[in-house]
Amino acid sequence: MASPSAQDELQSDIPISSLLLSRLSSPLFILPLFATLGLIGILNHDMWRDEMNTWLIVRDSTSLGEMLGYVNYQGHPALWALLVSLVRNIADTPVVMQLLHWVIGTGAIALFWYYSQFTRLQKVLFTFGYLPFYEYFLISRPYVVGMFCIFLFCTLYPSRKTSYVWVAIALGLMANSHAFAAIISLGAFLALALEFLMDKTHRLSYWAHAKKYDLILSLVILFSLYLFAFLILNPPPDSANSGGQSGWFLEFDLRRLLKVLGRFLGAYTLIVPNSRRWLDLIICDGIGIGLFLITAAKLIRTRTPLLFYLFGTGGLLSFFYLRFMGHGTRHYGFLYLAMIAGLWLAQHHISGDRPPLKPLHIKGKVFQIESIHNIIFTLILLFHLIGGLYRFPLDLSIPFSAAKDTAQYIREVEMEDGIIVASPDTYMAALAGYLNRQLYYPELEGLGSFTIFQEGRRQAVTQEDILNQTRKVLRQTEECQALLVLTDPLEVQHPTLTITPLTQFEQAWHRSEHMFLYEVIPTKQRGKCRL
């Protein structure tokens, strides 16, 4: 063992810049930095309707059964809503939901840093990438629970050698976190089942170390959680969400297939091909498939991680084609998480006595697959880093939704307790959440808050219909004024109403959540009451 003086001499030979870089890239520095920036970001993030909808379902449900019934229409499992219902007991404000989301997102990155064996550079690049640093961190939705459960499974994966219980719990929670995570969970289950059936060495080792009923108990836990996830994810007969029970696409469509394959490039590099141009689709699909094949080649020596990657990716692509294409990186980003998880699982298998992958020989040149993959993987992480570092500060300067500013204005003019008519109802959940009350929705002809895509629940209305209902509500309540909130400027008038524009909020990332506010007073009562 080297003496203290010898260690000092060795340390003095290391450049100060290297020591500083080493410390700055350690989890003791990165995790507090990530958590602090995330806390600042999430507390300054203006939530939009999809975030607030879960909070409103939890807030306005009178029982657990009623809440689960509403969640059944959402297209997501129930775990996120159940967690939100727990923290709502702490404080009746959506901020606690955001703090819960922040804790889960930070926990996912902590698992990634302490239990994966990626290089420090790769960990830093991933941590501040688009998904973990922005999309799945600042925006409070169940995606973060899916990411956490995937990383929890990767962390607990080695325990399968002696017990499958913890792995079963992780996979079951994964299935209840998000619909796309449920697909990855099924892929993981199939990979583990094939490993158990085909790998005699693993099977004999497991039987030698596992308790008597471990396998049965694990299967009972897993299938019970799978059943619960299925019951929630299976839409009711009157669901209108993504086509309801009949929303499957069972025909062959070449453009749709190419659009699905284009999700590879969108997930791995954040570059989404223009689906209206065949050339874009073909070129981008070729690049995306190439990235997928190189990753699969990297995993070729580790059968179970390879099967996990193939099943998870194949399941997601099949779902994109057959059911729901996905509208953004938040959806097909799970392809990226499946790749990260596959590489993570492979780290538990690779040992020093394994021979390297055979090199590729192309036109007399030799290419090492592992070297090629390391370069490409680093580039993929860089693309995500650029996306994260661009989008995170942008969220601080441009509100995601105008709902928070609108609610603040309504309080300033002391109208938060009066009649508020808001339309369309499907865009007003964030406003209802920030005002902590129900609003009058013309589409429902009554009070409401959250959105449920249920056939026959709502009706389409015109601006004339909205004004007619506003007049009706004023008569029924004998109030002399109402506040009208729309997402588009009012273009019509009403013969018995005096309508005065108050203000508008058009600085929001989501165009559909711009807010236009109007004071509405019956003409006969004009002058008796003003805001």
- The whole-number pLDDT of residue 1 equals 44
Q: With a cut of 60, say whether residue 329 has pLDDT above it.
A: yes
Q: What's the rounded mean pLDDT across residues 426-455?
A: 94
The pLDDT tens digits for 174-229 are 999 999 999 999 999 999 999 999 999 999 999 999 999 999 999 999 999 999 99
Kind of pairing, strands 482-486 and 420-423?
Answer: parallel
Residues 405-440 as b or e (16 or more Cβ within 10 Å = b): bbbebbeeeebbebbbbbbbbbbbbbbbbbbeebbb
Q: Is 138 exposed, middle or buried (0-12, 13-18, 19+ CB in 10 A)?
A: buried
Model confidence at 511, pLDDT cuts 50, 70, 90, reads: confident
Of the ranges 362-376, 410-424, 517-531, the best mean pLDDT one: 410-424
Structural contact between residues 351 and 341, judged by C-beta atoms closer than 8 angstroms: no
Helical (H) or strand (E) element with 422: strand 420-423
Instruction: Share the mean pLDDT of the chain.
Output: 91
- The whole-number pLDDT of residue 362 equals 60
Q: With a cut of 60, say whether residue 9 has pLDDT above it.
A: no
Model confidence at 517, pLDDT cuts 50, 70, 90, reads: very high
User: What is the rounded CA–CA span in Å between residue 395 and residue 48?
Assistant: 12
Model confidence at 364, pLDDT cuts 50, 70, 90, reads: low
Residue 206 has, within 13 A of its CA and on its CB side, a CA count of 19
User: What is the rounded CA–CA span in Å between residue 326 and residue 215?
Assistant: 36
- The whole-number pLDDT of residue 240 equals 80
The pLDDT tens digits for 121-159 are 999 999 999 999 999 999 999 999 999 999 999 999 999
Q: What's the rounded mean pLDDT across residues 237-260?
A: 83
Q: What phi, psi does 152 have (nearest 5°)?
A: -65, -40
Q: With a cut of 60, say whether residue 310 has pLDDT above it.
A: yes
Q: What's the rounded mean pLDDT across residues 326-340?
A: 92
The pLDDT tens digits for 273-289 are 888 899 999 999 999 99
- The whole-number pLDDT of residue 266 equals 94
Sole residue written with tokens 């297939």:
257
Weakest mean pLDDT among 7-16, 23-32, 335-344, 447-456:
7-16
Q: What's the rounded mean pLDDT across residues 510-515?
A: 90
- The whole-number pLDDT of residue 454 equals 86
Cα–Cα distances (Å) from 427 to 72, 423, 433, 452, 486, in that order, read 20, 7, 12, 12, 9
- The whole-number pLDDT of residue 140 equals 96
Q: With a cut of 90, say whether residue 502 has pLDDT above it.
A: yes
Model confidence at 245, pLDDT cuts 50, 70, 90, reads: low
Q: What phi, psi does 447 have (nearest 5°)?
A: -75, 150
Structural contact between residues 94 and 353, judged by C-beta atoms closer than 8 angstroms: no
- The whole-number pLDDT of residue 316 equals 97
User: What is the rounded CA–CA span in Å between residue 333 and residue 328?
Assistant: 8
Model confidence at 249, pLDDT cuts 50, 70, 90, reads: confident
Q: With a cut of 60, say whether residue 293 has pLDDT above it.
A: yes
DSSP letter, residue 93: S
Q: With a cut of 80, say whether residue 324 has pLDDT above it.
A: yes
Q: With a cut of 80, say whether residue 25 has pLDDT above it.
A: no
Q: What phi, psi does 501 have (nearest 5°)?
A: -65, 135
Q: What are the residues facing 483 on neighbouring strands?
A: 420, 519
User: What is the rounded CA–CA span in Å between residue 273 and residue 262?
Assistant: 6
- The whole-number pLDDT of residue 479 equals 85
Cα–Cα distances (Å) from 299 to 134, 163, 285, 327, in that order, read 28, 24, 21, 29
Q: With a cut of 90, say whether residue 321 has pLDDT above it.
A: yes
Give the end-to-end CA distance of the chain in Å, rounded to a whole number. 80
- The whole-number pLDDT of residue 478 equals 82
Structural contact between residues 110 and 83, judged by C-beta atoms closer than 8 angstroms: no
User: What is the rounded CA–CA span in Å between residue 164 and residue 180?
Assistant: 23
Supply 484's token pair. Answer: 């009208």
- The whole-number pLDDT of residue 22 equals 72
Q: What residues have CB less than 8 Å from 139, skipping those under 6 apart? A: 45, 47, 48, 51, 330, 400
- The whole-number pLDDT of residue 24 equals 73
The pLDDT tens digits for 66-115 are 999 999 999 899 999 999 999 999 999 999 999 999 999 999 999 999 99
Model confidence at 10, pLDDT cuts 50, 70, 90, reads: very low
Q: Is 109 exposed, middle or buried (0-12, 13-18, 19+ CB in 10 A)?
A: buried
- Predicted TM-score (pTM) of this structure: 0.91
User: What is the rounded CA–CA span in Å between residue 139 and residue 399?
Assistant: 12
| % of the chain surpassing 90 pLDDT | 79
What one-character-per-residue DSSP string does 317-386 give? HHHHHHT---SSHHHHHHHHHHHHHHHHHHHTT--TTSPPPPPEEETTEEE-HHHHHHHHHHHHHHHHHH
